[in-house]
Amino acid sequence: MAKENISKATRFIHRDYSWLDFNYRVLQEAKDPNVPLMERVKFLAIYSSNLDEFFRVRVANHRNLLQVGKKTIKQLDYDPETVLLKIQKIVSEQAVEFGEIFQHQIVPELKRHDIHLVQREELSQEQEAFVDTYFQENLLPFVQPVLLVKDKIRPFLNNKALYLAILMKDKENASTQEQYGIIKIPSDHLPRFIELPTRKPGHELIMLDEIVRHSVMWLFPGYQIINTYSIKLTRDGELYIDDEYQGDLVKKIKNSLLKRDVGPASRLVFDKTIPSQFLQYLMNVLGVEKLGLFPEGRFHNNFDFFKFPSFGMDHLKDQPLPPMDYQPLANAESIFEPIRANDHLIHVPYHKYEPVIKFFEHAAKDPNVTHIKIIQYRVAPNSRIMEALINAVKSGKQVYAFIEVKARFDEEANLRWGEQLEKAGIVVRYSFPGLKVHSKLALVRRLEPDGPQLYSYLSTGNFHEVTARIYSDQGLFTSDKRITSEVARIFSFLETVKLPSEEFKHLLVGQFNLRKTLIQLIDFEIAEAGAGRAASIVLKINSLQDEEMIEKLYEASQAGVKIELNIRGICSLIAGKKSLSENIKAFSIVDRFLEHSRIFLFHHGGQEKMYLASADWMERNLSFRIETAFPIYDRVLMAEIKDILAIQRSDNVKARSLNYQHINEYLLNDSDLAIRSQHETYFYLKRKYEELHPKE
């Protein structure tokens, strides 16, 4: 077996190991007794959902590399088998902890609040009758028992679906060998948690799995059921679209979507009590290799915990933090007047998303608006923004939408929206081959007494009304010509695919000046530190993996630049290591809202430069995407963002260390107060609002 590149391993943490560290931070939330009970249940679901996608994309990719042969593997700087073995070890260890958290923390806490999870062996006579009736009336149309016959019947297991693997014997011929069967648990059609008639105060729930276990004897008449074991198969979810510049890319994506859920197996999750002979049989039948085996407990598909009933017990959930109006834009008769006067910045989900929606709705109705342009990466199922664009076309406006149909796992939804917009008369442009467009931009052209005026909205997050309630992002409304003219230049490039005639001087744009300018900004700090002057960099991003940028940060650290990294997810940089990165402090915050904003702050000789961005510091973002980082020129807005960064820096409740010797340890500080940065940010913005609008 080849070994990982040792010199590289001393300078970089493999992105997938770091991602598993991130997902463990999610699991930490599930086991934190200070987190409300129903939120802990939700974090079990988030952890499981994250892991499913990880196996569908990242693990599937490593398995594919392993299968292409030694010649290709030699060209890599790592060994896929080594990575897969380590992933298997880490995930298996986390699965044990997941089970411990659920069985020994969550279940007892649920009982304490009179919510009881009942197994089939514990059913009363009344409950057995209920279960029998439920099975006959609800389950029978969906369950399809399959008797497995070696070399004759090879069942196809749906991606991420639940199944029971059944061990049984022929009742009439007890001397025959054990036989195997399989049944799908139809949790995609029926609730996973079913309330039983109760024998005691409170609520008693049974999982759908247990109802199927209880009723399996009716599905295999003539057989003695020895035992049942839950299994789940995860399939490769990558589309593998050729990126040549010929052919219809949209058609290729549509064709690939049809194949996504029938991709090769990347993981078999199974009940660890299953006999080894039965497991080997399933491996052969399902085409699963040893590296794809992941033993767990009795239940799988734990993302169904998203739908765990709370029975109206709101005291077991997070305290409400209702989003606030962003007052300067909330009541404006025309949203463009206050934007013409000043730049405006909203912080979601602390602020309502309504100003963004109004930006499009007002543009659709305003007789002076002539053009509306937007980039859509992920779209809400019922989007008022999309409806506004359709209404704008009906009002005679020119509307252009660039829709990125390669947004992973949102391809189908984006194609549907694209077709709907095209039918309405909107000019729709789809993805470029080999390049994703990830910028979050919108532009409006309005005729005004002094001539045409451009208005722009630039954001760190998608135009998505649903995720705006749970993702922490910033969005800038501006009419500043330095910015709006360059936003218009990006849209011209997307529409014509002709390179801009002028360089970008204010925006940092992927494929043009983003990487180059970031390196120049770091080099400036290195030079300042070398001259004995103050030099610092603060980065708040979701992921840091790009090796060139990490090496540049190491260089800055060694030159004496003070660097602070606030990274939610992947961090391949080794922070806090002597002679390599001792001037780099790194931490991560995982809490009720998903930290999603990207903020770059450079001291720059005291003339601070700040950018908000759509881009993480991943190779894919900096090299293979159209991304946009936009400057904050308004010093009041910059001070506000710096205050929020300082609040996050002081977090001693939800912040974890990313320094290499203390990965995921909770950070403590000298404060006597418990500082939970997301709550502090909410009340910081609330105080600012109340200062501007005191109660009478």
Catalytic center residues: 438
| Identity of residue 637 | L
The CA distance from 417 to 414, in Å, is: 5
Query: Helix 37-54 and helix 80-101: axis angle, to 10°?
Result: 160
Burial category of 617 from C-beta neighbours within 10 Å (exposed 0-12, middle 13-18, buried 19 and up):
buried
Q: Where are the beta strands (DSSP E) in 590-693?
A: 594-595, 598-602, 609-613, 625-626, 628-631, 655-657
- Identify the DSSP state of 474: E
Residue 350 near residue 640 (C-beta atoms within 8 A): no
Q: Where are the beta strands (DSSP E) in 471-535?
A: 471-478, 508-509
Residue 479 near residue 453 (C-beta atoms within 8 A): yes
- Specify whether the backbone of 493 is left (phi greater than 0), alpha (psi in -120 to 50) or beta: alpha
- How many Å separate Cα 246 from the centre of its chain? 32
Comparing C-alpha atoms, which of 93, 98, 24 is closest to residue 663? Answer: 24
Burial category of 321 from C-beta neighbours within 10 Å (exposed 0-12, middle 13-18, buried 19 and up):
middle
Comparing C-alpha atoms, which of 611, 590, 608 is closest to residue 600? Answer: 611
The CA distance from 143 to 161, in Å, is: 12
CA distances from 115 to 107, 112, 221 (A): 9, 7, 35
Comparing C-alpha atoms, which of 483, 586, 582 is closest to residue 541? Answer: 586
Q: How many CB atoms lie within 10 A of CB 315?
A: 11
Residue 372 near residue 457 (C-beta atoms within 8 A): no
On the question of a cis peptide bond just before residue 349, with omega within 30 degrees of 0, the verdict is yes
Q: Where are the beta strands (DSSP E) in 215-297?
A: 223-235, 265-271, 293-296
Tokens of 90: 């880490």
Comparing C-alpha atoms, which of 426, 494, 481, 427 is closest to residue 452? Answer: 481
- Identify the DSSP state of 666: B
